[in-house]
């Protein structure tokens, strides 16, 4: 009935999840490797015969490959031999680190010749790094989630992955002009999910290109590239100057420009900065209170 439901959905692309770790096959599914591969083969063959494009998510692949490479590869062979389009290697428990994961992806791609995909969970905080490492090792299909939403610690963040692949590796995974929609899209999806946007989210967070220290602000005034790893406008974000007890005259000058008016009188800037520092010492906070400034 599950396979029929997939066909009834009329989805042109279907992703199947299959165990690729012998321990899971025998202890969780309570079957043997031959039967597991037969189920994979039969299901993929049926879906392909019905005109569907099939991706095979090989669950727990990296742990399975480390423990028993032959079984893990046998599951991939069963799916790809039956017509699956992509063999997606899944770090299901999120326990991999970039070096070993990239090594495995490279080995599997070289040994099989299959089109390889990657699916990373973030349990070690390495989902984005692992995804990028996999691409550099030969993966050409990437599975991510918007803002990294997912079970436990989450998945690889789609927006960070797009930002890295496009601006760091020069891969046109989305048309360059559409990169400017990244921040707006990330925030819109957070609102739809009723989850507050992560201010510190790479590329699209409100604090991703924010500067608080006076030393940073002075450098930004000279050349934003001195502190920005990429032009924030490229991803639809922007530079933010935060005024606090750490601010200097340049911070306040740039903040005034950000708010739409100029204040280039050094003496006035010095007096204003001194007053802000006194007020902050007394318990005021201007960092997120532009109107009070």
pLDDT confidence of residue 86:
99
Over residues 63-82, mean pLDDT: 98
For residues 285 and 244, membership in a common domain is answered with yes
The residues pairing with 120 across neighbouring beta strands, listed in sequence order, are 91
User: What is the rounded end-to-end Cα distance, in angstroms, of the chain?
Assistant: 63
Is 257 a residue whose pLDDT tops 90?
A: no
Over residues 256-274, mean pLDDT: 68
For residues 110 and 235, membership in a common domain is answered with no
For residues 148 and 269, membership in a common domain is answered with no
Length of the chain: 293
205 located within any domain: no
21 located within any domain: yes
Number of separate domains in the chain = 2
11 located within any domain: yes
For residues 174 and 215, membership in a common domain is answered with no
Q: Which residue has the higher pLDDT, 284 or 99?
A: 99
For residues 13 and 53, the answer to whether their CB atoms sit within 8 Å is yes
Strand intervals (E) in the chain: 13-19, 53-59, 86-91, 116-120, 141-143, 210-211, 240-241
198 located within any domain: no
The two tokens of residue 117 are 């995909």
Q: Which residue has the higher pLDDT, 228 or 192?
A: 192
Is 272 a residue whose pLDDT tops 80?
A: no
201 located within any domain: no
CATH of the domain at 55: 3.20.20.70
pLDDT confidence of residue 251:
66
197 located within any domain: no
- Domain boundary among the residues 161, 192, 223 is at 192
Is 216 a residue whose pLDDT tops 70?
A: no
Residue carrying the six token digits 């080995």: 107
Helix axes 98-112, 69-81, angle to 10 degrees: 50
Maximum Cα–Cα distance across the chain: 81
For residues 19 and 85, membership in a common domain is answered with yes
Kindly indicate the confidence band of residue 151, based on its pLDDT and cuts at 50, 70 and 90. very high
For residues 124 and 97, the answer to whether their CB atoms sit within 8 Å is yes
Bridging pattern class, strands 53-59 and 116-120: unpaired
pLDDT digits 0-9 by tens, 164-203: 999 999 999 998 889 999 999 999 999 999 999 999 999 9
The two tokens of residue 191 are 């609102």
For residue 218, what are the domain limits? 210-292
- Domain boundary among the residues 192, 224, 249 is at 192
202 located within any domain: no
For residues 134 and 277, membership in a common domain is answered with no
For residues 58 and 174, membership in a common domain is answered with yes
């Amino acid at each position: 009935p599950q396979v029929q439901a997939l066909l009834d959905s009329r989805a042109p692309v279907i992703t199947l999840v299959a165990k690729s770790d012998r321990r899971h096959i025998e202890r969780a599914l309570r079957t043997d490797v031959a039967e597991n591969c037969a189920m994979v083969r039969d299901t993929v063959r049926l879906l392909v015969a019905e005109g569907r494009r099939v991706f095979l998510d090989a669950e727990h692949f990296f742990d399975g490959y480390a423990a028993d490479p032959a079984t893990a590869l046998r599951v991939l062979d069963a799916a790809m031999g039956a017509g699956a389009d992509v063999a997606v290697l899944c770090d299901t428990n999120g326990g991999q680190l970039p070096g070993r994961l990239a090594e495995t992806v490279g080995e599997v791609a070289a040994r099989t010749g299959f089109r390889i995909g990657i699916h990373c969970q973030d349990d070690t905080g390495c989902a984005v790094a692992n995804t990028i490492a996999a691409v550099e090792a030969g993966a050409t299909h990437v599975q991510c989630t918007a803002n990294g939403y997912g079970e436990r610690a989450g998945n690889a963040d789609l927006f960070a992955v797009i930002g890295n692949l496009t601006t760091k590796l020069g891969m046109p995974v989305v048309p360059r002009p559409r990169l400017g929609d990244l921040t707006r899209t990330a925030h819109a999806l957070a609102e739809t999910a009723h989850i507050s946007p992560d201010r510190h989210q790479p590329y699209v967070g409100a604090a991703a290109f924010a500067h608080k220290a006076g030393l940073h602000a002075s450098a930004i005034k000279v050349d934003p590239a001195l502190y920005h790893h990429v032009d924030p406008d490229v991803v639809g974000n922007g530079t933010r100057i935060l005024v606090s007890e750490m601010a200097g005259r340049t911070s306040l000058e740039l903040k005034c420009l950000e708010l739409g008016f100029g204040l280039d009188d050094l003496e006035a800037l010095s007096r204003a900065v001194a007053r802000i520092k006194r007020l902050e010492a007394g318990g005021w906070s201007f960092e997120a209170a532009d109107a009070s400034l």
